[in-house]
Amino acid sequence: MKILFMGTPEFAMNSLKAIYESGEEIVGVVTTPDKPKGRGMVLTPSDVKKYALSVGLPVFQPQTLKDGAFLSTLEELKPELIIVVAYGRILPKYVLDFPRYGCINAHASILPKYRGAAPIQRSIIDGDKETGVSIMRMDVGLDTGDVMLVERVTIEENDNFEAVHDKLVLAGATGLLRAIEKFKKGEAVFTPQGDSFTYAEKITKADCLIDFNKRVQDVHNQIRGLSPIPVAFTKTPDGKILKVTRAHIVDYSSNSATGAVVLLEKGIYVKCLDGVISLDEVVPEGKGKMDAAAYINGRKIRVGDILG
């Protein structure tokens, strides 16, 4: 089976690597154009491009797919299946219709839950105990296609975005390999998603501001769902931003106001609506990441301070 792979970030690169190492015939790799990064704004290739070039796969970086711009390349490559993982662009109908077996996508949620841009973060923030990767047939909608299979993973109590992301990387690669085998055996069956769905909106700065008036579990979910990027934050009494990269719920009683610092030990204990959370690792404004003890020793915070 001739496969064309389309993807951009590390999440996609791991799926490409698994497909390549399984011995499948990859006729080409499509990724987004190199982007300027760093202080020098140096043009930097995507993770997918770097891996593809390292194993000798042909790479294509079209500026646009609109108005048939990529049709001549498709006609040259003649892919029978297009696999899309976090490519970052909407595919026009002529691309979706070109391959014999269509286009399939690995989406990081159990569809139809969490269509859209931030399914991993939203799942953790919402307190889900399980997520997964859905392998679906793409259509002109956003994550609306029929689903072939789902690889499920457990979200543990203290898993953050990075931990769940890494689990889904493996699940996505496994799911795609299973899907390819089903196509080759003529066993590919797709199930419509139905009309009941949720949408995972892109994370904004407002999503990152911690509200200690919420339940302690909700605050904990927010912090871990946004760690290590883009990172939840609060504000200290002097108005400076304090990012929080790691926390845990503690068994500690307090009648203080929400947002109040109630204890300083190894962590910064802060009162929430129905409990207390310990901020264990922070990034003070203008500083690097440090554990809470180092921040406390710097005398930057006192019991009784109100955060938020």
Each residue's pLDDT tens digit, 226-265: 999 999 999 999 999 999 999 999 999 999 999 999 999 8
Name the phi and psi angles at 177, rounded to 5. -65, -40
pLDDT at residue 108 tops 80: yes
Looking at the DSSP bridge assignments, the partners of residue 191 are: 147
Instruction: Quickly state the pLDDT bin for 53 (edges 50, 70, 90).
Output: very high
Mean pLDDT of 110-114: 97
> Is the pLDDT score of 225 beyond 80?
yes
SS3 label, residue 262: strand
Report the percentage of the chain scoring pLDDT > 90: 93
Q: What's the token pair of residue 214?
A: 């919420």
Q: What is the pLDDT of residue 298?
A: 86
Residues 168-195 have pLDDT tens digits of 999 999 999 999 999 999 999 999 998 8
Tokens linked to 254? 């307090």
pLDDT higher than threshold 80 for residue 299? no
Query: Are the beta carbons of 135 and 126 closer than 8 angstroms?
Result: no
| pLDDT of 88 | 87
Strand 25-30 relative to strand 59-60: parallel, antiparallel, unpaired?
parallel
Cα–Cα dist 40/93, whole Å: 38
Q: Which SS3 state, helix, strand or coil, does residue 51 take?
A: helix
In this prediction, residue 125 carries a pLDDT of 98
**Burial profile 174-195: b = 16 or more Cβ within 10 angstroms, e = fewer:** bbbbebbeebeeeebeeeebee
**Positive/negative CA dihedral, 220, 218, 214, 256:** negative
**pTM confidence score:** 0.92
Average pLDDT over the chain reads 96
Q: Please tell me what DSSP assigns to residue 22.
A: T
Our CA angle for 22, 24, 28, nearest 5°, is 125
Q: What is the CATH number of domain 205-297?
A: 3.10.25.10
Please, which residues have CB within 8 angstroms of residue 48's CB and are 6 or more apart in sequence?
5, 7, 8, 9, 12, 13, 16, 29, 31
Which CATH number describes the domain made up of 2-200? 3.40.50.170
The pLDDT confidence band at residue 201, using thresholds 50, 70 and 90, is: very high
- Report, as an integer, the average pLDDT of 78-91: 95
Is the per-residue pLDDT at 300 higher than 90? no
CA 184 distance to own-chain centroid? 30
| pLDDT computed for residue 142 by the predictor | 86
User: How much is the pLDDT for 168?
Assistant: 97
DSSP string, 241-284: EEEEEEEEEE-----SPTTBEEEESSSEEEE-SSSEEEEEEEEE
Give the model's confidence band at 143: pLDDT under 50 very low, under 70 low, under 90 confident, else very high: very high
Instruction: Specify the amino acid at residue 97.
Output: D
Q: Where are the domains of the chain?
A: 2-200, 205-297
- Helices (H), ranges, 143-291: 161-185, 205-208, 216-225
- What pLDDT sits at residue 37? 85
- Give the model's pLDDT for residue 41: 85
Could you tell me what percent of the chain has a pLDDT over 70? 100
Distance, first Cα to last Cα, the chain = 56
Strand 2-7 with 81-85, pairing: parallel
Mean local confidence (pLDDT), 104-118:
95
75-86 mean pLDDT: 97
**Could you tell me what percentage of the chain is helix, strand and coil, using 3-state DSSP and rounding each to the nearest 5?**
30, 30, 45
What pLDDT band is residue 39 in, cutting at 50, 70 and 90? confident
